[in-house]
Amino acid sequence: MHNSILRSPWFCGLMIIAFFAFVIFALIPVYVPRPAFIPGFAPPPDMWPRTISIIGAGLGILLFILALLGRMGESEVIESDGAPRTVQITRFIGALVAFTAYVWLMPYVGFLVASMALTGAMVLLTGERNYRFWILGLSLFGPILLQLIFHSALGTQFPVGILTKQFGF
């Protein structure tokens, strides 16, 4: 992903312009309603987000122009294991899938099991295969230990799963 379009200042500028334009023209009109009555000379609720977004879009345009003129420095190269960009993108998507699956699985398997699965998945996604005992310990006993600590010390009730509640977690 290093030296890619994503890391170039002009692309960054375009993304920033697009984001703030979306906020100004799509989000603020719908999601920042103006109340019927505003006391005194108080500015309306959309004043501040609109001001921020207009300045943000302006700075995005400035960044884009400076990048085109070659006034923005090149991005630093990210240190990596030298894997091709497609592999790096696949790894990123893998992490996103793991995060999404964690939130999606939670109601079914409960907080404890979902956290075990996510921790294990994360260790494997880092490419670590050497410390098998530690990986197993971290993924299985780490969440159990933390649940015991938080439950006994702070009284936190973690969500149980539809499929696992008969086992108590």
Partner 1 sequence: MAHDILYALQAVATWQNLLIMAAGIWGGVIIGAIPGMTGTMAVTLALPFTFYMEPVPSILLLVALYKGSTYGGSVSAILIKTPGTASAACTALDGYPLARQGKAGKALNMALYSSVIGDFISNLSLIFLAAPLAVLALRVGPPEYFMLMLFALTTVAGVSGNSLLLGLISALFGLLLATAGEDLYGSFRFAFTEDMQAGLSVAPVLIGLFALPELLKLIVFRAAHKNEAAKLGDQKVTRSEFMASLKSILRGSAIGAVLGAIPGIGPSAAAFFSYGEAQRTSKNGSNFGNGELEGIAASESANNGACGATMIPLLALGVPGDVITGVMLGAFMIQGLTPGPLLFQTNIHEVYMLFIGMLFSSVLLFFAGKVIMRAFSHVARIPQSLLAPLVLLLCLFGIYSIASSMFDVAVLLIMGVTGFIMFLLNIPAAPFLIAFIIGPMIEENLRRALAISRGDPSVLISSPITMIFAVLIVLVVGLTVRREFLKSRNRKA
Query: Segment 95-124, which members bind partner 1 (CB under 8 A)?
Result: 95-96, 99, 102-103, 106, 111, 115, 118-119, 122-123
For partner 1, the closer CB: 56 or 164: 56
- Chain positions 137 to 166 lying near partner 1, rule: CB under 8 A, are 138-139, 142-143, 146-147, 150, 153-154, 156-159
Give the number of residues in contact with partner 1, rule: CB under 8 A.
82
User: What residues numbered 5-44 form the site for partner 1, per CB under 8 A?
Assistant: 6-7, 9, 12, 15-16, 20, 23, 27, 31-35, 38-43
Of 62 and 164, the one with the shorter C-beta distance to partner 1 is 62
Q: Which is nearer to partner 1, 129 or 168 (CB)?
A: 129
Secondary structure, 3-state, 43-103: CCCCHHHHHHHHHHHHHHHHHHHHHHCCCCCCCCCCCCCCCCHHHHHHHHHHHHHHHHHHH
Sign of the CA dihedral with 23 first, then 89, 117, and 165 last = positive
Q: How far is the CB of 166 from partner 1 (least distance, A)?
A: 21
Q: Is 158 left (phi over 0), alpha (psi -120 to 50) or beta?
A: beta
Residue 63 binds partner 1 (CB under 8 A):
yes
From residue 80, give the alpha-carbon distance in Å to each of 8, 36, 90. 18, 55, 15
Give the DSSP H/E element, type plus range, for residue 148. helix 142-149
Radius of gyration of the chain (CA): 24
Per-position x/- string for 66-95, each x denoting binding to partner 1 as judged by CB under 8 A, each - no binding: x----xxx-xx-xxxx-x----x--xx-xx
Based on CB atoms, which residue is closest to partner 1, 104 or 167? 104
Quick one: CA dihedral 155, 158, 160, 165, positive or negative? negative
| C-beta of 4 vs 167, nearer to partner 1 | 4
